[in-house]
Amino acid sequence: MEEAVRYDTLKPQIWAFTQKFRGKGFSKGDARAYLSLLAELVHLETGEDIVSALGWALEHAMALFRKGKGAVEEDYHRKYREWLDADRSKIDLKRFVPMENRVKAERYRPAEPVYSISLFTGAYGLDLGFEQAGFEATVGLDISEWSYRNFHANRPKSPFILGDINKISTEDILKEAGLRPGEVDVLTGGPPCQPFSTAGKRQGLNDPRASALMQYIRVIKEARPKVFVMEEVTGLLNARLKHVPIKERGKRPLRPEEEPGSVWKVVMKELEGTGYLVKDAVLNAADYGTPQFRERVIVIGVRPDIAKELGLTKDSVLHPRPTHTGPNRNRGRAKEVPLDEWLGHRKVGLPPWLTLAEAIADIEDHIGYIPLGPKYMRYIKYVPPGGNWRQIPDELKPEAMNSAYYAGGGKMGFYRRLTWFEPSPTLVTSPSMKATMMVHPLEDRPVSVREYLRIQGFPDDWKVVLSVSQAYKVFGEAVPVPLARAVALKVRRDILGVPDA
């Protein structure tokens, strides 16, 4: 417990320090890598646990920073050479982060039964959060065999409809759930959004694949749940109903359907057409106890009779308030505010974000992973925790990156090694690919499937019956369970009016 308290004190200071380095030259990634390799070197030299080693590293880095950023950069290059020669196999992971897993699968009991129906069930992350908040998932539905296998292995006694929602009536869904129209407390789901993706030809709601959204709306209208909760990726917010080739942009005024965000306007209009009070918000899973930066659009709709009874309006707060917080990430002020003022700045009263260390450092039983290719293995050894391709020596970068070296963009996912001291970046479906790497902080391998589950907030007894590549895709796209649980508790307590038992 003492180590956890000390670590909670250090975390916001670490984040504040790295915030001071942006842009060209010595970057935020360099700052992460610098603190990480310093802590590893101290640990290897003294045997100190990582919290103590990290505290020393931060104090050392801050003392140099007060002399100027150049002093930090110079020391980084010197310590980096020491780190390359160090025997990292001697790092004792059990002492490296002396704390237990803090991503808890909390469960709540409601004062009375509350029932949900799950559409587009996927990995069951959204629904597991509702389950932990006290909801009974009466039926799941998905067209994916992978989703069915995952569901059946972990909830073998619960009904599941494997099929195309276009061919399944609302009556059949309610029959499987054992409910009638109006009796469903919450309808959950994240309709696939392929027709609105940020690449490729788009036809918007005229695309046949957009039928998933329209079928979700159809079930809302016919099942009349008290509340619906819909999840979508944030890329949908800026998607255009009609694609405009890049070469044509700026040469003429855009039509309404060509404007960024035109898709989301139509989606919200369709949802509001159900008569429900509908509100959307972008929520970051890290703000709700997930050790991962993952933003998702959460739409909550309240049936008109319930909204009227509660006096809810468009100005009402339907989404949960954060339970955790990070540093002030206002980029406009990050470079201007003195470090001493910036350090530790966060919302008063909230604990700091959970980090990768608190999620996976104690895992010993790794369910599989797809190894890095031989070429990637040659170069990833040059990348400290928190770094990416930019930390590879300059003379090796062209060969390591190939044509991508000369392309534009930040290429932040190339040769990315995660840091212990921040939440994980948003999980991807191919963590061993060059452009989307998510390499373990200590070992030269991608994050494993079991580590994916921890990062997404699934309990340790969750059975994995899929291949490694299938599991990466299914769980990499999941709604983080702690985020879903926070939404579910808000809905149950404040909208449905069902308190804890």
Digit-by-digit pLDDT tens for the chain (501 residues) are 577 778 888 999 999 999 888 766 788 899 999 999 999 999 999 988 888 999 999 999 999 999 988 899 999 999 999 999 999 999 887 766 555 667 777 899 999 999 999 999 999 999 999 999 999 999 999 999 999 999 999 999 999 999 999 999 999 999 999 999 999 999 999 998 655 544 334 455 555 556 899 999 999 999 999 999 999 999 889 888 888 887 877 778 888 888 888 889 999 999 999 999 999 999 999 999 999 999 999 999 999 999 999 999 999 999 999 999 987 654 444 444 455 554 544 455 789 999 999 999 888 877 799 999 999 999 999 999 999 999 999 999 999 998 888 887 778 889 999 999 999 999 999 999 999 999 999 999 999 999 999 999 999 999 999 999 999 999 999 999 999 999 999 999 999 999 999
Identify the bridge partners of residue 189 per DSSP, sorted by sequence position: 119, 230
240 φψ region: left (φ > 0), alpha (ψ -120 to 50), beta (else): beta
What is the per-residue pLDDT for 334? 44
Rg (CA), the chain: 24
Identify the bridge partners of residue 139 per DSSP, sorted by sequence position: 117
Which residue type sits at 156? P
> Pseudo-torsion of CA 424, 437, 120, 318, nearest 10°?
30
SS3 86: coil
SS3 189: strand
Distance of alpha carbon 209 from the chain centroid: 25
What is the per-residue pLDDT for 303? 98
SS3 243: coil
SS3 406: helix
What is the per-residue pLDDT for 333? 45
Spatial separation of the C-alpha atoms in residues 339 and 99, rounded to whole Å? 29
What is the per-residue pLDDT for 206? 58
The DSSP result for 310-341, as a single string, is: HT--TTS--SPPPS-B-----HHHHTTS-HHH
Residue 267 Cα distances to 114, 232, 261, 273, 421, angstroms: 28, 11, 10, 10, 38
| Kind plus residue range of the DSSP H or E element containing 229 | strand 227-233
Q: What residues act catalytically?
A: 193
State phi, psi for 118 to the nearest 5 degrees: -110, 120
Tell me the residue ranges of DSSP E strands in 256-372. Answer: 277-284, 295-302
What is the per-residue pLDDT for 336? 47
Spatial separation of the C-alpha atoms in residues 200 and 351, rounded to whole Å? 42
CB 418 within 8 A of CB 438: yes
> Checking DSSP bridges between strand 277-284 and strand 295-302, what pairing results, if any?
antiparallel
Token reading at 346: 């966060």
CB 313 within 8 A of CB 332: no
Question: pTM of the full predicted structure?
Answer: 0.92
Token reading at 407: 């392309």
Spatial separation of the C-alpha atoms in residues 35 and 50, rounded to whole Å? 11
What is the per-residue pLDDT for 207? 58
Q: Which class would CATH give 114-234+276-325+480-495?
A: alpha beta
State phi, psi for 489 to the nearest 5 degrees: -65, -40
> Checking DSSP bridges between strand 227-233 and strand 186-189, what pairing results, if any?
parallel
Which residue type sits at 90? K
HSE of 385 in the Cβ direction (CA atoms, 13 Å)? 21
CB 279 within 8 A of CB 304: no
State phi, psi for 495 to the nearest 5 degrees: -105, -50
CB 479 within 8 A of CB 190: yes
Domain ranges of the chain: 1-99, 114-234+276-325+480-495
Spatial separation of the C-alpha atoms in residues 166 and 91, rounded to whole Å? 54
Q: Which distant-in-sequence residues (6+ apart) come within 8 Å of 410 by Cβ?
A: none
What is the per-residue pLDDT for 25? 74
What is the per-residue pLDDT for 258? 83
What is the per-residue pLDDT for 256? 84
What is the per-residue pLDDT for 196? 54
State phi, psi for 302 to the nearest 5 degrees: -115, 130
Token reading at 31: 């700052």
SS3 141: strand
Distance of alpha carbon 132 from the chain centroid: 19
Q: Which distant-in-sequence residues (6+ apart) come within 8 Å of 68 by Cβ?
A: none
Minimal CA–CA distance to 193: which of 166, 231, 145, 242? Answer: 231
What is the per-residue pLDDT for 339? 52
